[in-house]
A and B are shown apart, each in its own frame.
Chain A
């Protein structure tokens, strides 16, 4: 039955629609799965391993032995503070002594000179050599190749350390890093009694082995030893990827829903063409149940075959997406897992169940009398269970894809409203057309009559085509807006350097320096170090919190800053910002995410220890901060004047083009205590990420486009047989090809233009809703969208219509008539 029906054409369309849906769902599923795991590896780079055992006392060598026995790689780190000495000059340094193999995850980069281009390091510093941050050179007045004294050991400066994967601690720490070989450490004599040394064992390898090792180690830990595991990757990467994933899922969902419309349309036609078969079967004694089972089984086979093909295509497609994103993460993407297979198959089945089965069930109801009289009407499947089945299927699929009820509701409400409006507008337009046709020539009259004659069917077609076009337009507008928004969030001149540790009496000097150089006019933000001590009068400790991030936040130092107005990339989400006459009051504005993590609400009292004294502040506003902007931003802000007199330092971010970088040398000479932090490498990574995500999004967009075209094609095919029959009849009556062509064109172009017009308007409305509700960017109405809609409708429907009916134009009329009857 399957093979026989295949030649009918509807099954091919059903299969293609299913294929598109399953392919896009599984491509996105496979890709997101891989990217998720890739991101976990990226997070691992931040601790240079998958797992770290850290302690203030030497670690048992058994830990490393056990890990290696499980096939895992290991490396050692000892970290301590010491003083570097060169002649008369002294500098506090952070010494990091590492064993071969470091870093197990992530990348170490060095340069031959300060502020020169860097490249990945091969291995670790050889014995007798140190790789240092450029600040040490400034502080000690040294050059690469010079030596300095670390404890009792002289070390030669081999290279400049530009990027270490696991800087750890505070980015704004003042002591420059000195990276040495672990074997040099004993000779320095720094490991003596009372030295504050951090001992770390790095472990990395297969995920399963790492988990086993983690469980083993957890049982053996002694007091003071703790396990660190890679958790959250770089936040700026995560937020970009999350948006990309959201958009990819949305695009996939839209492909699925569009495919659903195509499936429903094709299934209706399939059912209609099988009325006679069913009538004969019933005449021969087949029960309704038997007929339903026969068609049901046929659909099941189709779903399985199409889903298998779709999943395979999905694997191929995700490989392409992954290639596009290959260098996005510093580590290669892990191979695909088989988990996304399930959603692929489920999508295929659900689509058929929800969209194709209801019209097919009407076949059960075909009256056997139809065998004798073809004009006996077949009762269509009852309306509401049919639509209910579709809605449920759509709901399940949407929630599965997006996992975000609010987004699902927005998409749904939008779709339903579009359908209702499209149907209403389509009806009105068709009524208008009916009046028009008395005034046009034979070809146009025939075309317009075709639309007006089946107002019901034409409305369905207009809605299907309109919906397809709406989604395509919507996706292309949202996509363009989204991409533009992304690019704007990271303009080419995003700040790429931070200056920290600027003293209050240097603020004017720094401003003057940059004004003289004509480079930039940096905004300097004050900050005062503070420790969180109480919440609503009760002392706060890390034991109060379960989450690792919360524990970490509680123990670290906060930077309290003050400002009269919120920065442009901050948005108040609760409470209100202080007014000018509230300056000097003990108010506090918290970053919303931090407040949530620490369980701090609006109006809570928060106590900080500032310069040895506890100060209490009341939370009067919560802010959402756009961290992607790379501007200096603070978790905690207070009104100006509150912290007057407390020891403050200043910080700023600024953009320096590559050619302007050497000016930094002059800056650090003039202000030796100011620390320069270069984040060019990070920015380049993020830019590359955005570029690659953009390409992935565009790639997936092709699937949606294909689904949209399938809908158009299915909608036009619905009445293909009638069209062919009528064309043949007209030719019998003496109509020439040109007349027929004009008639068909009149119909398709009118349909296309109407659908396009409606789609353009609907897409604009939906884009506005999505922009405001989901993606949070400003939307501007663009009349070009409507124009594109009309153009796309005319072209697509015209082309699809011509393709679907051209055979009738070129064939001898007797043949078309016979085929159609």
Chain B
């Protein structure tokens, strides 16, 4: 396989943490690649290490062993600010509990990544994105004035704002009722396709995983 076509490469990835009772192995020797434009479902029971793996892929945390390459760039070769820069330019996030900044309005939340990436017209672009997710009438509202589904739609708009090549989603429907969850997923895949991004999504929803082209199953910190 051509290395340049692989957007994400995990090589011998391991994560251990020190606890009172010795070392706890969370991830052990994880190896996989994700091709650019692919969609991957990361499946596993609660505590299997899904969220930790996503954190490592995005450079939010550092592995105990192994390395992660994004578009050929080794994350370990970058410092904290370098990784932040990389995220600003190439990675978008959707979280289970939305993670909108409470002090900023919906519009300001979506503007944030645009501004961090140095976009020319952050306000206009953010407005368009919010219209796209159906929140054009709620630009000035604060997160606590939005319903759960609205918050997640806002978060999706924010995730795609800076045109990331990689979208990382952590149980995006975990906090939503089935109906709202289905609408959000629709939107997520629609935007993903439209923008040609690569999607890595952690979930334990088999139906949701069925939408994805590739499945990775985690069990007790190992890929099975």
Contacts and interface: CB of A to CB of B under 8 A. Distances in A.
B176 to A, nearest CB: 15
A810 B84 CA distance: 12
B91 A734 contact: yes
Contacts of A736: 81, 84-85, 88, 116
Given A449-B108, A812-B62, A814-B60, A733 B116 contact: yes
B197 interface: no
B93 A732 contact: yes
Contacts of B158: 733
Contacts of A424: none
A813 interface: yes
B61 A735 contact: no
B131 interface: no
Interface string A573-600: 0000000000000000000000000000
Interface string B95-114: 00001011110001001110
A812 B61 contact: yes
A445 B122 CA distance: 14
A734 B104 contact: no
Contacts of B91: 734
Interface string B73-86: 00000001100111
Contacts of B104: 445-446, 449, 453
B141 to A, nearest CB: 13
Most buried by A among B58, B61, B84, B93: B84
A730 B84 CA distance: 9
Given A734-B88, A735-B116, A812-B60, A449 B93 contact: no
A726 interface: yes
A731 B80 CA distance: 9
Interface in B140-192: 142, 158, 162
A453 B103 contact: yes
Nearest to B104: A449
B208 interface: no
Given A737-B80, A737-B84, A453 B102 contact: yes
Interface in A798-821: 810, 812-815, 817
B93 to A, nearest CB: 6
Interface string B211-222: 000000000000
Contacts of A738: 81
B128 interface: no
B56 to A, nearest CB: 8
B142 to A, nearest CB: 8
A174 to B, nearest CB: 85
Contact of B116 (A452, A734, A815): A734
A812 B108 CA distance: 25
B25 interface: no
B37 to A, nearest CB: 21
B15 to A, nearest CB: 10
Contacts of B93: 732-733
Interface string A435-465: 0000001100110011011100000000000
B61 A731 contact: no
A814 B55 contact: yes
B120 to A, nearest CB: 14
B75 to A, nearest CB: 11
B81 A726 contact: no
Contacts, number: 79
B103 A734 contact: no
A733 B58 contact: no
Contacts of B113: 733-734
A815 B142 CA distance: 26
A729 interface: yes
Contacts of A304: none
Contacts of A733: 87-88, 93, 112-113, 116, 158
A726 B88 contact: no
A738 B162 CA distance: 20
A445 B108 contact: yes
Contacts of B112: 442, 730, 733
B18 to A, nearest CB: 13
A739 interface: yes
A461 B61 CA distance: 33
Nearest to B112: A733
A734 B168 CA distance: 13
A450 B103 contact: yes
B117 interface: yes
A734 B87 contact: yes
B89 interface: yes
A814 B58 CA distance: 10
A813 B86 CA distance: 14
Contacts of B81: 736-738
A451 to B, nearest CB: 9
B115 interface: yes
B27 to A, nearest CB: 13
A726 B101 contact: yes
Nearest to B86: A734
9 contacts: A442-B116, A445-B104, A445-B108, A450-B103, A730-B101, A731-B80, A732-B60, A734-B113, A734-B116
Given A442-B115, A735-B84, 4 more contacts: A731-B84, A732-B93, A734-B116, A734-B117
Interface of A: 441-442, 445-446, 449-450, 452-454, 726, 729-739, 810, 812-815, 817
Q: Which 10 A-B pairs have the closest CB atoms?
A: A734-B88, A453-B103, A814-B61, A814-B60, A734-B87, A449-B103, A442-B115, A814-B55, A736-B81, A813-B60
